[in-house]
Chain A
Amino acid sequence: MTGLVGYQAALLLRSQRWLIPVLFYAAVLAAGSNGHEPLGDSLAWSAAMAIPAVAWLTRTCLTNEPASARAALAAAGGARAAQLSALVVALLGGVIMAVAGSAFEVLVSAAPKGAPGRGAVTAAGCVAALACAVVGSAVGAIGNPPLVRRSGAAALLTVTLVVLALASTASPALAAIHRAAPARGSGLPVLPLLAAVVVAGAAWYASVVAAAHRS
């Protein structure tokens, strides 16, 4: 598995296709920052925007390997492990991106209003960012090959799932973001993070099984 993860990481880094979702994320963070937002609000924004960015990064990892190379490596390392390694690399990259986004907000934002201090708000925001990265990974796993092969359908489904993740009351990402916002600040959003991990686990499982069976 470490061999496959190293290979997928090399594919992602050397292809330079990671630049587009990372630049997208940097752009929305810059656009949402005017330097006067309270820290809790800016962390909520950077966490929320991690969902589409990580979904996009996941798409990059799931589409940058030719089928023939995948077949050769699946024979060497296992068809399921090959797909899993692509998802792992996308999530690792997404977590780095989301944590960097949170750090950026901590640097540029105004002090939080109200009772919870800067440390508590930062910690809650970072956990929310993790939860959102995990949900973004789930969205990317469901809305891309091998589960959705056509790029038009993939884009449509991804946008729909991102909107649902940010608007549906059932979404663990939204729950985590709400918890991180200072007005409702009530400790770390650990339960939403765990719920996000369960959702992503199911999405990864579907993607891994489909990769082993449909190709």
Chain B
Amino acid sequence: MELRGVSKRYGLRRPWVVRHADVALAPGSLVRVLGVNGSGKSTLLRLVAGATEPSRGVVRDRPRTGFVPERFSPALPLSAEAFLVHVGRIHGRGGRDSRQQAAAWLERFGIGPYRAWPLRALSKGTVQKVAIAAALVGDPELLVLDEAWTGLDAVGRAVLDGEVAGRVAAGGVVVFVDHDPRRLADRPARHLRVEPGGVVAEAEAPPLPASEDPAPVGPVAVEVAGFGGDGAALARLTGVLSVSATEGGLEVRVDPGCSDDVLRHLLAGKRAHIVAVRQLPGGPPAGGAA
């Protein structure tokens, strides 16, 4: 499918939200849409999904579509199952087929026990799962996800990630927005950025934030004077990596996790005088052991 010269504003006196977008979406592509808040990402997704029509330009050859809008509201007088059955029928499925599909998706998301519950009575995450199931129940060739991961538990994320991968592998198109740059970052994806002002341009993958694990820390070197001997007693302490003689005494290299204990031991000893404590640079230790 493709967008040709697509522009969008929500009224004649309203500003343009998307301008002159020319985007062709090849089968089997995963597309991440980037942009700051309010830049028009959601509008671009709505145009791609067919939830709204362009003010100018055309959208051609849109295949069967599933759309998870942002902030899906549960203010519908329907149960989760009834809603999904209606969506199946809207996709042209028969009644029995729609009921089977609805039940299957509710089970996959682990919310089968809630199928008869009114949508209003469900938790936020469960409502989000229903919204995603509604997008998938028609077996779409185009899946458009506007922050669809919000509020999902591990089961929901795993099912959705798996569906995205499976549909892209099967030649479908998945277009998504997510505030977390690590979302699906391990998969090859095309990036489109909506600039403020509505221009849509190809973009590079955003930089991933630093890992939440602390940077690897090297050993702590403690220079000790006046200890006497070769320090064999020190080498037996927990966490001591090496003891070597220096000009003024000994240098003890200690595992950073144990350095406080070793320092305490040294301070408790009457003879030892601690000359210096240095943090050595990190990185994988020589020999490759992690």
CB nearest to B146 among chain A residues: A71
**B contact residues, range:** 20 to 34
Q: Chain A's nearest CB lies how many Å from the CB of B176? A: 14
A11 contact set on B, CB distance < 8 A: 76-78
The answer to whether A4 touches B90, judged by C-beta atoms less than 8 angstroms apart, is yes
Q: Chain B's nearest CB lies how many Å from the CB of A85? A: 9
Interface string of B70-114 (1 = CB under 8 A from A): 111101111000100011011110000000000000000000000
For chain A, residues 1 to 29, give those with C-beta under 8 angstroms from any C-beta of chain B.
Answer: 2-4, 6-7, 10-11, 14-16
Q: Which of B15-23, B48-56, B228-236, B251-259 contacts A (4 or more CB under 8 A)?
A: B48-56
A65 contact set on B, CB distance < 8 A: 76
CB nearest to A15 among chain B residues: B77
- The answer, among A7, A16, A213, for a CB contact under 8 Å with B90, is A7
Interface string of A47-80 (1 = CB under 8 A from B): 0000000000000000001111111111111111
- Per DSSP, chain A at the interface is helix
- The answer, among B49, B65, B77, B135, for a CB contact under 8 Å with A14, is B77
The answer to whether A75 touches B78, judged by C-beta atoms less than 8 angstroms apart, is no
The answer to whether B86 touches A74, judged by C-beta atoms less than 8 angstroms apart, is no
Q: A3-B89, A4-B90, A11-B76 are in contact. Are A75 and B66 (CB under 8 A)?
A: yes
- The answer, among B66, B73, B78, B91, for a CB contact under 8 Å with A68, is B73
Check if B69 is an interface residue, CB within 8 A of chain A: yes
B91 contact set on A, CB distance < 8 A: 3, 76-77
- The answer, among A16, A69, A71, A78, for a CB contact under 8 Å with B46, is A71
Total of A-B residue pairs, C-beta within 8 Å: 94
Q: Chain B's nearest CB lies how many Å from the CB of A76? A: 5
The answer to whether B52 touches A213, judged by C-beta atoms less than 8 angstroms apart, is yes
Q: In the complex, what distance in Å separates the CA atom of A212 from the CA atom of B46?
A: 11
Interface string of A129-163 (1 = CB under 8 A from B): 00000000000000000000000000000000000
The answer to whether B11 touches A214, judged by C-beta atoms less than 8 angstroms apart, is yes
The answer to whether A75 touches B87, judged by C-beta atoms less than 8 angstroms apart, is no
Check if B10 is an interface residue, CB within 8 A of chain A: yes
The answer to whether A66 touches B67, judged by C-beta atoms less than 8 angstroms apart, is no
B55 contact set on A, CB distance < 8 A: 213
Q: In the complex, what distance in Å separates the CA atom of A153 from the CA atom of B169?
A: 51
**A contact residues, range:** 20 to 34
CB nearest to B77 among chain A residues: A14
Q: Chain B's nearest CB lies how many Å from the CB of A95? A: 23
Check if A215 is an interface residue, CB within 8 A of chain B: yes
The answer to whether A79 touches B67, judged by C-beta atoms less than 8 angstroms apart, is no
- The answer, among A7, A15, A72, A74, for a CB contact under 8 Å with B68, is A72
For chain B, residues 134 to 160, give those with C-beta under 8 angstroms from any C-beta of chain A.
Answer: 134-135, 138, 144
The answer to whether A74 touches B52, judged by C-beta atoms less than 8 angstroms apart, is yes
B55, B72, B77, B90 interface centre (most CB from chain A within 10 Å): B90
Q: A78-B50, A79-B50, A213-B53 are in contact. Are A72 and B67 (CB under 8 A)?
A: yes
Check if B194 is an interface residue, CB within 8 A of chain A: no
The answer to whether B10 touches A3, judged by C-beta atoms less than 8 angstroms apart, is no
CB nearest to B134 among chain A residues: A72
Q: Chain B's nearest CB lies how many Å from the CB of A145? A: 13
B50 contact set on A, CB distance < 8 A: 74-75, 78-79
**Which residues of A pack against B, CB within 8 Å?**
2-4, 6-7, 10-11, 14-16, 65-80, 212-215
